[in-house]
Amino acid sequence: MNFNQLDFAVYCIGLLASKLNMNQTDIYDRLKNSGILGGYIVKGYDALHTFSSDYIADDLIDYMKEKGVLA
């Protein structure tokens, strides 16, 4: 993971925590344990970071629901 990917991952965690009104640590744990953090956010950085904040948040929330990370 390079600095840009790490910076983007931290941004996504903060974005989701704010949008979902949840603790950042809880969001991090859910993303890490589900494989979304490394397998989707970090690996998809090149494409994902070009989208708007709203798109990123909605996309990640949908994916978290699909993976059973969110109800």
Per-residue pLDDT reduced to its tens digit, 13-59: 999 999 999 999 999 999 999 999 999 999 999 999 999 999 999 99
Q: What is the distance in angstroms between the CA of the first residue and the CA of the last residue of the chain? A: 29
pLDDT of the residue at 71? 87
pLDDT of the residue at 49? 96
| Amino acid code (one letter) for 10 | V
Q: Of the candidates 49, 48, 60, 51, which has an alpha carbon nearest to the alpha carbon of residue 18?
A: 60
Q: Is pLDDT of 5 > 90? A: yes
Whole-prediction pTM value? 0.94
Q: Is 52 helix (H, G, I), strand (E, B) or coil?
A: coil
Q: 70 pLDDT band (50/70/90 cuts)?
A: very high
